[in-house]
Chains A and B, each alone.
Chain A
């Protein structure tokens, strides 16, 4: 997670170019885009953890039924 953010920031710093035209000023000038990213990551991780728990439950059932 930490490394991912780091890698992303590294990549984005490489590819970042001089910005002449400001898009979405309110969103970025406040610097709150990171709040959106945090929220999205929480939702994604929540859903993924849920999927993993379903996956494990099925594995458990497979073991029970196949034995």
Chain B
């Protein structure tokens, strides 16, 4: 079974939806049932970060071996990651509207994630502006490493250094602090694995299509 992880993704995704809506959650004012968004909104970002991280790994490999196939992988992983980032932004915006009262607030975490999305969109634009394949692989590979460092700064570090509305940042407790009875972890961890596997699946199909296109063009 070469594709066992795809079945695992399907089963875990089903579990996420069924368990995510049925298993009791801690009672919180303001949040109420919307606390269940944790199983869907947060894994979007985890998947995005995972895909971007794998992309950097392939960029490193590409830069050290000069093998263009690694560059293809890096590019398609970023493409798939951007989709998850967009979904994370939209779901976060909806959640913010019904808990914080606005679709968007000028918060470090939110602006940081928006800047990160722009940085990765610039990666795609940069690739489009270069014609020579070798040059494209080199320059975008270096840019990709730079972009991932900025992602860590904007999403991981800066929001934790100042005040932020977003849970888990700026002295604001994350959901693990509320979750005393471990109910939510029962769904949250499988959900994270499920969405990451789905992201990997989509990216792998994109990589295979890109390889076929290159073969046809050659």
Which of A's residues lie within 8 Å of B, judged by CB?
1, 4-5, 7-9, 11-12, 15-17, 19, 21, 23-24, 27, 33, 36-37, 40-41, 44-45, 48, 51-52, 54-55, 58, 61-62, 65-66
Interface residues of B in 12-61 (CB under 8 A from A): 13-15, 17-19, 21-24, 27, 32-33
CB within 8 Å for A58 and B14 given contacts A8-B22, A65-B215: no
In the complex, which of the residues A7, A11, A61 contacts B212, with contact meaning CB atoms closer than 8 Å?
Answer: A61
In the assembled complex, the Cα of A24 lies from the Cα of B10 at a distance in Å of 29
Contact B186 A11 (CB under 8 A): yes
In the complex, which of the residues B10, B15, B18, B212 contacts A48, with contact meaning CB atoms closer than 8 Å?
Answer: B10
Residues of B within 8 A of A52 (CB): 6
Does B205 sit at the interface, judged by CB under 8 A?
yes
Which of B's residues lie within 8 Å of A, judged by CB?
6, 10-11, 13-15, 17-19, 21-24, 27, 32-33, 181, 183, 186, 201-202, 205, 208-209, 212, 215-216
In the complex, which of the residues B183, B208, B209 contacts A15, with contact meaning CB atoms closer than 8 Å?
Answer: B183
Query: What is the predominant secondary structure among interface residues of chain B facing chain A?
Result: helix
**18 A-B Cβ contacts within 8 A?**
A4-B11, A4-B18, A9-B22, A11-B23, A12-B22, A12-B24, A15-B23, A15-B181, A19-B24, A23-B27, A23-B32, A23-B33, A33-B21, A37-B18, A37-B21, A41-B18, A48-B10, A58-B212
In the assembled complex, the Cα of A50 lies from the Cα of B14 at a distance in Å of 16
Residues of A within 8 A of B216 (CB): 65
Which residue on B lies nearest to A7, using beta carbons?
A: B15
CB distance from A45 to the nearest CB of B (A): 8
How many A-B pairs have beta carbons closer than 8 Å: the answer is 73
Contact B181 A65 (CB under 8 A): no
Which residue on B lies nearest to A66, using beta carbons?
A: B215
In the assembled complex, the Cα of A62 lies from the Cα of B19 at a distance in Å of 38
In the complex, which of the residues A36, A37, A58 contacts B205, with contact meaning CB atoms closer than 8 Å?
Answer: A58
